Structures are given as C-alpha cells and as structure tokens.
Amino acid sequence: MNALLILDKPQGLSSHSAVHRIRKITGEERVGHAGTLDPMATGVLLILLGSAARLSEWIVTHDKKYRATVKLGVETDTYDATGNVTTTRAVNVSKEEIAAALETFIGKQKQIPPAHSAIQIQGKRAYKLARQGVELEMQPRAIEIFSIENIAIENDLVAFDVHCGKGTYIRSLAHDLGAKLGAGAHLAALRRTASGNFSIEQSLTLEQTSEAMTRNDLERYLLPMDLAIPQFDAVYLNQTETRAILNGQFIAAPQNLTTLLARAYDEQHRLIAILERVSERQLKPKKVLTE
C-alpha cells in the first residue's frame, strides 16, 4: 500500500489522531501526513501510506487553499475559536473597509505565527510553553498569500477563499485582519480545500475509508505516490541501473536533467528511489523507497 490517500479530516481531530485512525482502518503500519491541520480545521489532509511516508519532506512545501471564516470583534489567545476570549470590541467597519483590508495581505510578507502553535522554541513546542504561561516573542516568518477571493460578509462574520504558500497561518491572518480594522478578530472556522494539486473533490472521509476497506476496494481511491513530487525530473532505469541504486551505488546521469533531485523508476515504471545529482555525470540514491 505505497500510495496517497486524500482524507477529508473531520473537526475536532488532530492530524496525528487522523493518522492513527487510518493506520487502524487500513492495517498499514507506515502512515504519515503532509501539511498539519489544526483540530478545529477540516478538509484536505494528505495521508502518506507505506513508502510514500518517506516523501513527506518534499510535500510540505505545497501551496494550500482554504475557505476561512473570521469573526470580528472578539480576540482569543489562540487566534481561533478554541481559545479563551481576551478582548471584545464593537464592530464599526463597512464591507468596503473589510475588503480593502484583506487586499493588503496579498503578496510576500512577514507574518508572526500564533504563540499557540507547534513551532519549536528551544526544543519545546510553542503551544506547550504558552499553556504554561510563558511569555513568548514569536519571530516573524516570510510567507506569501497569492489570492483572497469570494469574500462574503454577514454582520460580524467574514468568509473568504485564500490561496497561500508554505508556513502561512490563517489564524494569524484572521488576527492581523482584526488588528488592521481596529476591531479585533479570530478564526471562527477553517476548511482546507486543496493541498498542492490535491483537492477536496478527491477526498474520502474516515467513514468512507473504512467502508472502502470493508468492501476491499480502497485501492481504487488511492493515488500513485509520485504525484506528490512532480517538481522532480523522472529517470527511467534499466535492470543494471536499478540493481545499482538498490545497492546504494552511483549511476550515470542523463544529459537532460534540470533538477538536483530526480524520481527514479524501474523497468516496470515503479517509483523506487529519489536520486541526488552529485555531479553533471553522476547520480546517487538519496532515498530508496522499495520494501
């Protein structure tokens, strides 16, 4: 079961717990995920089965798309609906002002992550320190928001679609929007609609995954693991080259390579390794994906 499963993660379940549930449903011990979703959030969680779990380091860079709902007038310590209310204010802003404020967040920028996040600070998770009452000075990080569209405003709720790059915290976006409007805000709801090329339309719920296993046809819903790393050139190996790569040896590099890493396929067109270019003439195995 070396493949990808697009899971529609339910609300209230952590990404780690979702992996545990998939492991229990499928019986596959090697299960991972790419692109953590907060327990409050729902939607696309890319599940990596079998050897696909070894590709996670290259998948977390995927762009993400979300449908976010922000509540104006109320700030929380976690920047979302799960936290404790810290401030409430009257909301006196127009729809035009809200739309204009959202427009300013499009592009490359520095964003300060929430203190209640999984970021490591001196070897400890920030959220654990925050829960202990430790005052944290979170460092800004470079992010990019490509678009904010389909804005819908009803009373103090603002919903919109956001397309963003790696490391963007939608909770921070909600908080920063509230600050810019002078009203305060927090993230009331969040649904991830896409991760890279994988969309919510391709997803299964946990219940659907379990039902498919019971019918013994889950395989029809799984995706080839190489779809997660299309950014690397493909190299097709002959039998001798395949044997060399599986034994950790170098092979000659094709002349038409354009990427430093490459997907290596055997004669049956099965993805067997990620190769690293060590010179213009040689490739070596960086990660072997076979059993």
Q: Are 56 and 48 spatial neighbours (Cβ–Cβ below 8 Å)?
A: yes
Question: In whole angstroms, what is the distance from residue 274 CA to residue 262 CA?
Answer: 6
Active-site annotation holder among 38, 80, 176, 266: 38
Nearest CA-CA partner of 256 in 227, 228, 277, 287: 277
Tokens 């002078």 sit on residue: 182
Handedness of CA 37, 43, 46, 47 (dihedral sign): positive
Long-range CB contacts for residues 168-171, cutoff 8 Å, separation at least 24: 168/64, 168/111, 168/143, 168/144, 169/79, 169/111, 169/113, 169/114, 169/117, 170/66, 170/68, 171/38, 171/78, 171/79, 171/80, 171/114
Q: Is 38 known to be catalytic?
A: yes
Tokens 């499963």 sit on residue: 5
Count of helix runs (H) and strand runs (E) in the chain: 7, 19
Q: Which residues are catalytic?
A: 38
